[in-house]
A and B are shown apart, each in its own frame.
Chain A
């Protein structure tokens, strides 16, 4: 392999007129890892990805991709990179296999080379029997998988995926995850954005959580859960009014409490002790649930619960 570090950003900034979408972020992506950008809509994830994929020139700061300055060396970088866009941009007017062969032509790959490769990739994403279909006949999950296959036509070292599983059913999502893990094993560096916490925990070695154009935290999913939320959470769903005083009395015992419209959340280091106290209150036992802290708790505590669009 070449460089041990595939992407380096220092003070990376992107402005659209007056609006600053990315506000001077620093991060680096190691080779053969899966690196995730998490964040609510409008956090600046896609903008950052577009700068890395040399589709958008940075406004300020430094961005090095595969050892070359992004945008400036766009042509050479893009030759070694694959991109799965957020929006489906397959060519609706040609067949599944032609989508792959024509795309490969833009990388100077002749049909002699690209045709067997396309067949191979179609079976990799379980679409070999859709070879001659038109795009409109494919389901959302199939289109997504075909986009993954297309992004691999130039055998990239770095694969950029912008919300690779948004809108997919669980079966399709798991299939995409399985394929991404297998690519990582083959030595491809993966860079993905998502707002599915499960996806991030399943796939990412390291991730950053972005909010309003800044990086709030960085680490492995496990480190982030350990460092930014309590190990356990007790959820009480729709407690009756007469139990609320009792629940409120428990607040000082928990590390942190959240009262939402439909439930209470107690964040704690000692779930069993707190659970016993909650159970003593006049509550329907099935409305009380003890679970481990999750990436989603980290995410929501850092970015808030309000709608951010």
Chain B
């Protein structure tokens, strides 16, 4: 535990400097993506739709887009950015010749990508709230939910990064994992009138749980279903937490 704390301090207080120096190049562009969806789908498509589950279409999709912002924020970082640092820049090799170990580096990357998702998710929510999409006081807990979501996708993405030999393999990650989740996790249409098997499958989809969590906090205020989804994410993240560190160790310590 002391080691984890040291490692966390190293990255949050110190190592982040590298990434913070790079904020203008690296972080700013990704802010726009969820807004494009909010505007195009929420206002554009929403103008042609009747109410969905009793609310405006933009109210329905905005919480899901908060979850998406968290997922994308973490995923970009632990996939392309980490792979480039590790494989092309050999940055991890450099850091491993300092008192830090590969486990510290993995943990640092997860904390930083979680921080990124926290930034994206909360800024997105703040701006989206000006469209009147926040309907529950439970929304104050959104940053916690965003951080949980970000941590979960950090662990998943970093594990993938630790095992792939070539950067091209991200095509599989994005087109077969991230994009289908984005489309079929109940962000743009409700899943509860789908056949039963769809809902069973959906229960296992990480983003679907995050969408349920955000929607409960921001739209419905149904704290029971928020707690269930949060518990799912905590359990899965806890189970996956050390996986990327072990895989990175196997890859880089020879």
Which A residues are within 8 Å of any B CB, using their own CB? 16, 53, 55-57, 74-76, 78-79, 81, 83, 85, 87-94, 98, 101-103, 105-108, 111, 154
- Decide yes or no: A105 and B15 within 8 Å by CB, A57-B253, A75-B99 being known contacts: yes
Interface residues of B, dominant DSSP: helix
Q: Beyond A94-B21, A105-B14, is A89–B100 a contact (Cβ under 8 Å)?
A: no
CA distance A87 to B93 in the complex (A): 10
**A102 CB contact (under 8 Å) in B18, B99, B253:** B18
Question: Does B97 make an interface contact (CB < 8 A)?
Answer: yes
Pick from A56, A85, A98, A102: contact of B15, CB under 8 Å:
A102
Contact call B97/A56, Cβ cutoff below 8 A: no
Tally of contacts, chain A with chain B, CB under 8 A:
71
* A90 CB contacts on chain B under 8 angstroms: 94
Say if the beta carbon of B251 comes within 8 Å of chain A.
no
Does residue B205 face the partner (Cβ distance < 8 Å to A)?
A: no
The answer to whether A106 and B253 touch across the interface, beta carbons within 8 angstroms, is no
Main SS at interface, chain A: loop
A-B contact pairs, 25 of them (CB 8 A): A53-B97, A55-B93, A55-B96, A55-B97, A55-B253, A56-B253, A57-B253, A74-B101, A76-B99, A78-B98, A79-B99, A81-B97, A85-B90, A85-B94, A85-B97, A87-B93, A89-B90, A91-B89, A91-B94, A94-B18, A94-B21, A106-B10, A106-B15, A106-B99, A107-B99
Interface size on B, residues (CB 8 A): 22
Closest to A106 in B: B98
Closest to B92 in A: A89
CB contact between A105 and one of B17, B25, B89 (< 8 Å): that residue: B17
B95 adjacent to chain A (CB < 8 Å): yes
Complex alpha-carbon distance, A91 and B94, angstroms: 9
Partner of A92, one of B89, B98, B101: B89
B253 & A91 in contact (Cβ 8 Å cutoff): no
Asked whether B47 is an interface residue with its Cβ less than 8 Å from the other chain, the reply is no
Nearest residue (CB) in A for B94 is A89
Minimum C-beta distance from A4 to chain B (A) = 25
Partner of B254, one of A16, A85, A88: A16
Give complex CA distance A52, B100 in Å: 16
Please state if A91 and B254 are interface contacts (CB–CB under 8 Å). Answer: no
B22: interface (CB < 8 Å): yes
Chain B residues lying within 8 Å of A102, measured Cβ to Cβ, are 15, 17-18, 21
List of B residues within 8 angstroms of A78 by Cβ: 97-99
Cross-interface CB contact of B95 among A88, A106, A154, cutoff 8 Å: A106
Q: Which residues of A contact B90 (CB under 8 A)?
A: 85, 87-89
Does chain A have a CB within 8 A of B91?
Answer: yes
Taking CB atoms, residues of chain A closer than 8 Å to B98 are: 78, 103, 106-107, 154
Closest to A84 in B: B97
CA distance A101 to B18 in the complex (A): 9
Interface string of B1-35 (1 = CB under 8 A from A): 00000000010001101100110010000000000
**B21 neighbours in A (Cβ, 8 Å):** 94, 98, 102
Per the bound structure, the CA–CA distance linking A102 and B91 in Å amounts to: 12
Extra contacts besides A93-B18, A103-B94 (5): CB < 8 Å: A55-B96, A89-B91, A98-B21, A105-B10, A106-B15
Residues of B within 8 Å of A108, CB to CB, are: 14, 99
Instruction: Assess the B17–A101 pair: CB atoms within 8 A.
Output: yes
Chain A: minimal CB distance from B62 (Å): 34
A181 to chain B, nearest CB (A): 23
Would you give the 0/1 interface string for B235-254, flagging 1 where the beta carbon is closer than 8 Å to chain A?
00000000000000000011
Residues facing A in B148-200 (CB within 8 A) are none
Q: For the complex, what is the distance from the CA of A98 to the CA of B17, rounded to whole Å? A: 9
Q: CA of A123 to CA of B150 in the docked complex: distance in angstroms?
A: 43
9 closest A-B pairs by CB: A89-B90, A106-B98, A105-B14, A83-B97, A89-B94, A75-B99, A102-B18, A78-B99, A79-B99
CB pair A98–B99 under 8 Å, yes or no, is no
**In the complex the two chains form, what is the Cα distance from A102 to B10 in whole Å?**
11
